[in-house]
A = this chain, B = another copy of it.
Amino acid sequence: MATLGASKKHKVTVVGSGNWGTTMAKLVAENVKAYPTIFDETVRMWVFEEEVIIPKESRHYDAGSEASSKPQKLSQLINTVHENVKYLPGITLPTNVVAEPDLPSSVKDSTILVFVLPHQFIARVCDQIKGKIVPYARAICCTKGVDVSENGIRLMSETIGMRLSIYCGALSGANIASEIAQEKYSETTVAYDPPPMDSRAPTPSGSPTSSQVDLISPSKPIPSARSARLKALPSEYPPLSHENVRKLFHRPYFHVRIVDDVAGVSLGGALKNIIAIAAGFVDGLGWGDNAKAAVMRVGILEMVKFGKAFFEDSVKTSTFTEESCGVADVITSCMGGRNFRCAKKATQTGQSIFEIEQQDLNGQKLQGTSTAYEVNEFLKSQGLENDFPLFTAVYLILEGKAKPEQIPELIEPK
């Protein structure tokens, strides 16, 4: 018996192997070793297979050797040298991280799926593993962002949960993968609050059809009735309580707080980028740290209002004002993130942020601008632009219809 009353252990798969995915695999692997009665000792990591040449940053680069100049399969390299030489070079992974390039094999029998994929791959990957996972698996989504359009708001965790018919929580915080990989101290927030589940035998036919995979919109909050279709964890497993989920992620250098509020945690990671742009616009005016702090404070309260307006049943004020995924992530994003930096430079140089983006970001796009447009489109569709004056101010400035100098006036409470 693994633990009292539990004869099985949880197998964990990290779905994704970029720098954040590899970092999550590293810390989860450290934790499964620390709690061998709860978790299986191997952590599988799904690797999108590619041929790589060991770069100079790797611990295994050897200028003279033939092996270092020959392309090799990334998954094999990871399993041989215990380093993701392409996406997290220089960091040694625990030997119990096992790279697996075959997606269905990587998730087989796992009761815990940690999703760390780029936004645009999530739906596709889910469709490829649908029906190939245990029906009572639980997922945690570590990808930041939400899908917002005029039709509504959809959380990444919702996409995963609905497509796989499993419960999906979320992890988000003031986190930079490379710092955590180096074991520099930071914090994160995990949202995990599975509803009561059906404890009868799993029936694959009970999964939702595509027509049931709806967007969340203000008129249609997260349907709690969906929970009836989720399958309970068999009693042979240790419970996936807050305490045990925390054990999977918490490290001495990575402090975890668990909350219930999946929507709040997910929204924080998206909306903070709009705030960072606002803070950058104001900071570029040279108005000092107090003006910047004021914009950040107003922004945090606007996140709260947004969450409560559109997810009223579940979102808590404290998720934004007290947790790493809220206030701390806003602070970090407004100290040095690229949304902040580009917006500041736009004000300072008199250029548009789109020009700065093009000059400075090597073809990459700012998340804050697209989120600001998406959120505005949604607010407009709801007739609520005036209720979110800071979000609306950022949109107006991006559109060239207002100037950063007008922010105090635009957000002044009447």
Residues of A within 8 A of B (CB): 173-176, 179, 184-187, 252-253, 255, 257, 282, 287-294, 296-298, 300-301, 317-318, 321-324, 327-329, 331-332, 335-336, 407-409, 411-413
Contact B287 A184 (CB under 8 A): yes
Smallest Cβ distance from A268 to chain B, in angstroms?
Answer: 12
Establish whether residues A321 and B327, one from each chain, have CB atoms under 8 Å apart when the complex forms: yes
Quick check: A332 and B174 within 8 Å, CB to CB?
no
Query: Which chain B residues lie closer than 8 Å to A321 at the CB level?
Result: 318, 321-322, 327
- Collect the chain B residues with CB atoms within 8 Å of residue A407's CB: 185
Shortest beta-carbon distance from A248 to chain B in Å: 16
A253 touches B332 (CB 8 A): no
Q: Are B185 and A287 in contact (CB under 8 A)?
A: yes
**Contact among B187, B282, B297 with A294 in the assembled complex (CB-CB below 8 Å):** B187
Q: Out of B179, B332, B412, name the residue touching A252 (CB < 8 Å).
A: B412
Contact B324 A301 (CB under 8 A): no
The 7 lowest CB-CB distance pairs between A and B, nearest first, are: A321-B321, A186-B290, A293-B328, A185-B408, A187-B294, A293-B331, A297-B328
Q: Which residues of B contact A255 (CB under 8 A)?
A: 294, 408, 411-413
Given A294-B187, A328-B296, the answer on whether A409 and B252 have CB atoms closer than 8 Å is yes
For residue A407, which residue of chain B has the nearest CB? B185
In the assembled complex, 9 residue pairs joining A and B whose CB atoms fall closer than 8 Å, in A order, are A174-B293, A174-B294, A186-B291, A187-B290, A252-B408, A290-B332, A293-B331, A296-B327, A297-B331
Contact B408 A329 (CB under 8 A): no
